[in-house]
Amino acid sequence: GQELHDSIGQQLTGIEFMTEVLEQKLNSKSLTEASYAAKITSLVSQTTGQARDLAKGLDPLDLDASNLLPALDALAATTEHLFGSSCRFKCDKPVPINDTSLAINLFRIAQEAITNAIRHGKAKNILIELVSNTYESILTVKSDGLDFPDVQDRNKGMGLKIMDYRAGIIDGSLNIRKGADGGTIVACVFPNRNANHNGG
């Protein structure tokens, strides 16, 4: 989102500036084409605004290492608000999250798990949980509703593959299975990183 905002935003601002200059030049020659240039300027300006909104939508939370927990809390609240299912985030003890990539990948894994639970599982209750011991931490998203299907069905979409890929980026592993009482459990185990050993 940020990248999109920066690169496209820069380009559009440049184009907007150039058409403004063109408009002034045409105006100074009393050319009626000036009003065309003015229209282009205003259209580009609208597009700049839309690109900014889009970039925000793709990355609404400005996630970094310091705010994963409130972001997950907000994700749960938004899920309840949008879909009417119960969605809670639980994290009883502090979990060492100290880099942006870790925060973003965990957030996206939780987000996809929730989307799947609602869309495919028709879940009414979702629990996001973050726990850790000395060496590793686990993000789990437990949902009720329909059972997570057999292996063949998993290859239908990109979501599960991307979740798996994200787990790999943070040196973790992802396990998705049917819950003991049905529904789905998505669990991502990842090693803790600290100041002395930051995993490279």
Ligand X SMILES: Nc1ncnc2c1ncn2[C@@H]1O[C@H](COP(=O)(O)OP(=O)(O)O)[C@@H](O)[C@H]1O
If the CB atoms of residues 5 and 154 are measured against Mg ion, the closer one turns out to be 154
| AA letter at 55 | A
Instruction: Name residues contacting ligand X, limited to 77-116 (CB under 6 A).
Output: 116
* Closest approach of ligand X to the CB of residue 12, in Å: 31
Dihedrals φ, ψ of 31, to 5°? Answer: -90, 135
* Closest approach of ligand X to the CB of residue 185, in Å: 9
| Triad 9, 11, 17: Cα angle to 5° | 100
Which of Mg ion, ligand X, none does 146 bind, CB closer than 5 to 8 A by kind? ligand X
If the CB atoms of residues 160 and 174 are measured against ligand X, the closer one turns out to be 160
Q: Is residue 184 a contact residue for Mg ion (CB under 5 A)?
A: no
If the CB atoms of residues 124 and 154 are measured against Mg ion, the closer one turns out to be 154
C-alpha to C-alpha distance for 175 and 165, rounded to whole angstroms: 12
Residue of 19, 137, 140, 184 that binds ligand X (CB under 6 A): 184
Q: Are 62 and 104 in contact (CB under 8 A)?
A: no
Contact letters for Mg ion, residues 108-147 (x by CB under 5 A): --------x-------------------------------
Three-state DSSP class for residue 138:
strand
52, two tokens:
């900014």
Q: Is residue 167 a contact residue for ligand X (CB under 6 A)?
A: no
User: DSSP label at 150?
Assistant: -
C-alpha to C-alpha distance for 4 and 6, rounded to whole angstroms: 6
Angle of the 100-119 helix axis to the 68-83 helix axis, nearest 10? 20
Beta bridge partners of 136: 191
Q: Are strands 125-132 and 86-90 parallel, antiparallel or unpaired?
A: parallel
Residue of 1, 9, 159, 179 that binds Mg ion (CB under 5 A): 159
If the CB atoms of residues 56 and 108 are measured against ligand X, the closer one turns out to be 108
Q: Which residues bind ligand X (CB under 6 A)?
A: 116-117, 120-121, 143, 146, 148-149, 153-154, 156-160, 184
Q: Which residues bind Mg ion (CB under 5 A)?
A: 116, 159
